[in-house]
Amino acid sequence: MYDLIFLILFPCIIAFILLLLNNNRIRHAIVALAALVISAGSIYLLVSSFTQGTVYYAFPFEPTSLVMFALEMGIALLLLYLGVRFKQPVAVLLVLVQTVMMIYYEITWGMTVEPEMNLFIDQFSIIMALLIGIIGSLIAVFATSYMDTYHSHHHEVRDRRRMFFFVIFVFLAAMFGLVFSNNIPWIFFFWEVTTLSSFLLIGYSETEEATNNAFLALKMNLLGGIAFAGAILYLASVDPSGGLLELDALLASGQAAAIIPAVLICFAGLTKSAQMPFSAWLVGAMVAPTPVSALLHSSTMVKAGVYIIVRFAPVLAGSLAGISIALVGAVTFLLASGIAISQSNAKKVLAYSTIANLGLIVACAGVGTPQLVWAAIFLIIFHAVAKSLLFLCVGTVEHRVGSRDIEDMDGLIVRLPKIAAMMFIGMAGMFLAPFGMLISKWAAIEAFVVAPFGLIFVMILAFGGAVTVFFWAKWMGKIIEVTPFGENIEDTVSTGKWVVLGSLTAMTVLAALLFPLISSYLVEPYVLGIFGETARLAQDNVIIMVLMIALLLVLPLSYLSYRKQGRTMPAYMGGRPTTPDMKFLGSLGMEREMTTRNYYFAEYFGEAKLLKVGNPLCILLILAAVAAIVGVAL
Amino acid sequence: MISVLTAVLYLLLAPIAGGFIAGIDRKLTARMQGRVGPPVLQPFYDVAKLFEKEDVTVTPSQNFYILSYLVFMAVTGAIFFAGGDLLLVLFAFTLAHVFIVLGAYAAYSPYSYVGAERELITLMAYEPMIILTAVGLYLVTGSFYVSEIAASEVPAALYLPGVLIGFLTVLTIKLRKSPFDISTSHHAHQELVKGLTTEFSGPTLAKIEIAHWYETVVLLGIVYLFFGFNPLLALVAIAVTYFLEVFIDNTFSRMKWQWTMKEGWGVAVTLGFINLAVLYYFYLGV
């Protein structure tokens, strides 16, 4: 039990130290040290707990709950103050509603309920803890040097780095708390802390845009928070002894009893994981410094949303409400992938790709067969690794090249060869066989084929997959263009960043190589424990995949032979006289520049256009889920 | 389930078979155009000659991408003929294709760049229907394994008429036949010079040709799976299919890329979807 408490409390302690500390060099050291301790702690948790299955711990309910309630009220007051100060009436209203609900809960049941097994650990929690502990703390390390550069580029932004790192570590602590809690009001407390943390981080630069986007994120997540609070009130009123407030008891109570709170909590999950119609907050969140985006997209925040939905998958499975929620995910997957085609802002492409992949996870969890839960967990793992790498690479590119536009990334392989190679691997991890995301998509197709309403999901996966290949491959093509001009400007990237980027790159490859082990030691036991049956890829396929990765690792060696032989010539320019930097003689003797541009198809895949379809459709589907549980209740 | 022997046989024999098919293709095309045409072995002479030529590139990294293209196209076919998972075959196929597209991007040449972008459009156009083909074959034979689908006694083609027509449509896209030869073409009616393959020459271009031979054999192998219940019929179907491809190639002019998208996605959401929906209804009761 102490390892769990350590992982929750240690980041908090570090957070307070960083809040009080003004010296930048000591901050660097403390963050690096803390990252090391947290990663080691989560690996220790893996080593010590993975054989034990699910273990529940009787952590004292009081006074912990009282402390949490006090903190919740403090958070509410802070949000009310900020809401009034920035004239955000809707946010104020939502905070008030939620606070009143929680006060009502505390007065009516808070003193009488006494859940015993408040903390727990199982294989899924271990996986989440590893993602939070390793990827989250790597991002924190990256952020130390990133924020130095950030402030030397943006003198107009007030230096609030103390607050920044305070919130980052609180965020990690809250994520640990969220995945270790078996007590649903506690999960809700940590849930709200992640909402607050992302609100503060998105608004970091204090520009009008940042403030507005931070409040957008806050409002959407508070909406989910209200649904979550509703679920707690419902559970307490159904069973005043508080027995159902334990997550395992609720999940074990069967679909009839658990479906109403499950849908309410999954609604909260949909807002947090930025499914349509709530996708806008995550897209808006890219105004934050890039490490924040990396954190929100990979190991925290949105992963909390899908974590809770995957937890509730056994309850959703086979219900009409579950299918509706799954369809919200599927529609989001398809349309967000489409929107990604039309975007040239690299961070926006990454954001929509995240939303799409979260959609796929939600679709898997909503249908909830054992195979699909297996696929969903692997999607969470692979996505976290590859997406954090990509965000941090884009952040580095942005600082060196001065743009985050994909059209400015011509010949990145010439200017920033190592960064470009890492981005290449990250992107391959997102959509190509034999890497991670594709393994999961493949498993998802095979599982959806035999699932209820499977054809609709298979169709959506087939089209969404094709669209995904298009938007990644054209970006990949852009960065590997070998331009005859451009200089290597890579030496200005700091060592700390290299360590982080290198680790994440290695993890992207390793995750694909080690996935059979992850599957048999963590994911399969979890799925087996929940459903009594499990899923896996056939042995033959695993061997073929590993061989393919080996081949991919060997093929670059062929570069060695090209150096010696062969002659290079300039590209074919239609016979026009061309300078070495690709300027050619046009008509009337004018010198023109050759530039290459990607297709974006805004007229087919434009953001506004597809959101106009997706948002109402997903609202209807959510209403259908609500109608389904109202039907159950009556 | 996996047979290494057939995979090795494929690796050795597929280039020969593919080269012959390419030769017959050229002969047929010539006859349709009222020419005598080259000898059937001409593709082999061409590739042999390409290997003799000097190795000239715009950037050496092109070589890496094209080598990877060839290797993974061979891997794709090897998995297929070993009897492996059809979906894995399709994913390896996509991987191979992404490599040739990257090779074209790497050159930073206006013509090959547009060719690469258009090749990606064709990839996006045919992919959904190809996935639905695998799903359709699974529904009627109960397996994703090529070995089991091929050995199945179920007359798949009879249950999957829509999927079959849909597959043949995207096969035309896949083989880059007119009207879908938007990225590169063997015919001289391209405004993109040679599009995708503009910047490849000599041994590199030869590798692309060989990869294309491997590819043709795999694609025709998928046609076989529809008729696996009767091998003789399957061979006839393959012959007819290829003849139709050549015929279409010579009777259509090239269309805009939008048309490729519409056709590829259109057959998937109409023929593919309706066919599968009917199957779902009757077989699975959903």
Q: B206 — phi, psi (to 5°)? A: -60, -40
| CA A423-A428-A430 angle, 5° bins | 100
Residue A242 has a pLDDT of: 80
Name every chain A residue with its beta carbon within 8 A of the beta carbon of B135: 445, 449, 458, 462
Say which range, A132-141, A238-247, B59-68, B277-286, has the weakest mean pLDDT: B277-286
Q: Which residues of chain B neighbour A555 with C-beta distances below 8 Å? A: 64, 67-68, 71
Report the alpha-carbon distance of residue A360 to residue A379 in Å, rounded.
8
Instruction: Write down the pLDDT at residue B286.
Output: 46
pLDDT in tens, A288-338: 999 999 999 998 999 999 999 999 999 999 899 999 999 999 999 999 999
Instruction: Give B278→chain A minimum CA distance, Å.
Output: 11
pLDDT confidence tier of residue A572, bands split at 50, 70 and 90: confident
The pLDDT value recorded for residue A584 is: 87
- ipTM, two decimals: 0.95
CB A166 within 8 A of CB A15: yes
What is the DSSP-derived secondary structure letter of residue B154? S
Flag whether residue B113 sits within 8 Å of chain A, measured between CB atoms: yes
B175 contacts: CB under 8 Å, gap ≥ 6: B216, B219, B245
Cβ of A599 within 8 Å of Cβ of B117? The answer is yes
Q: What is the mean pLDDT of chain B?
A: 92
Tokens of A579: 């300078």
Do the beta carbons of residue A515 and residue A378 sit within 8 Å? yes
Res A534 pLDDT > 90:
no
Name the token pair of A576: 């026009």
- Torsion angle of alpha carbons B152, B158, B162, B167, nearest 10°? 40
Cα gap A192→A270, rounded to integer Å: 15
Is A555 in contact with B68 (Cβ distance < 8 A)? Answer: yes
Q: Which residue has the higher pLDDT, A176 or A494?
A: A176
Q: Lowest mean pLDDT: which of A294-308, B42-56, B251-265?
A: B251-265
Within 8 A of B265 by CB-CB distance, chain A residues are 463
Specify the residue for token string 């060839």.
Answer: B70
Residue A592, classed as helix, strand or coil, is strand
**Using the beta-carbon criterion (under 8 Å), do A572 and B1 form an inter-chain contact?**
no
Pick among B72, B120, B170 to test the A interface (most A CBs inside 10 A): B120
Residues 6+ apart with CB under 8 A from B51: B202, B203, B206
CB neighbourhood size of A612 (10 A): 12
Domain boundaries, chain B: 4-284
B138: nearest CA in chain A? Answer: A449
Distance between CA atoms of A118 and A122, rounded to whole angstroms?
A: 13
Give residue A68's pLDDT band: very low, low, confident or very high (50, 70, 90). very high
Identify the CA nearest to A69 among candidates A41, A23, A101. Answer: A101
Amino acid B31 reads R
CB spacing of A461 vs B106 below 8 angstroms: no
Chain A nearest C-alpha distance from B112 (Å):
9
First-last CA distance in chain B: 30
What residues of chain B lie within 8 A of the CB of A565, using their CB? Answer: 55
In this structure, is the dihedral angle defined by the CA atoms of residues A393, A399, A405 and A407, taken in order, positive or negative?
negative
Instruction: Retrieve residue A62's tokens.
Output: 């009081």
Instruction: Report the mean per-residue pLDDT for chain A.
Output: 92
Q: Which of residues 231-260 of B touch A (CB under 8 A)?
A: none
pLDDT bucket at B285, cuts 50 / 70 / 90: low
Taking the C-alpha atoms of B82, B84, B88 and B92 in order, what is their torsion angle to the nearest 10 degrees? 0
Residue of A nearest to B72 (CA): A548
Beta-carbon count within 10 A of A110 CB: 18
How far does the CA of residue A38 sit from the closest CA of chain B (Å)?
37
**Among B residues 1-30, those touching chain A with beta carbons less than 8 Å apart:** 1-2
Residue numbers of B between 166 and 195 with CB closer than 8 Å to A: 193
Question: Closest residue of B to A569, CA-based?
Answer: B58
Cβ–Cβ < 8 Å for A57, A119: yes
**What pLDDT shows up at residue A128?**
96
Whether A453 shows a pLDDT value over 90: the answer reads no
For A2-17, the pLDDT digits (tens) are 899 999 999 999 999 9
Chain A, chain B: beta-carbon pairs less than 8 Å apart? 195
Local confidence band at B180 (pLDDT 50, 70, 90 cut-offs): confident
Output the pTM of the full model. 0.95
Chain A nearest-CA distance from B56, in A, is: 5
Phi, psi (deg, nearest 5) at residue A66: -65, -40
Residue A421 has pLDDT above 70, yes or no: yes
Give the pLDDT confidence score for residue B190 in this predicted structure. Answer: 62
B1 contacts in chain A (CB < 8 Å): 538, 540
Contact A442/B88, CB-based, under 8 Å?
Answer: yes
Q: Give the residue from chain B lying closest to A410, CA to CA.
A: B108
pLDDT tens-digit series, residues A348-404: 999 999 999 999 999 999 999 999 999 999 999 999 999 999 999 999 999 899 899
> Per DSSP, what are the bridge partners of residue A578?
A584
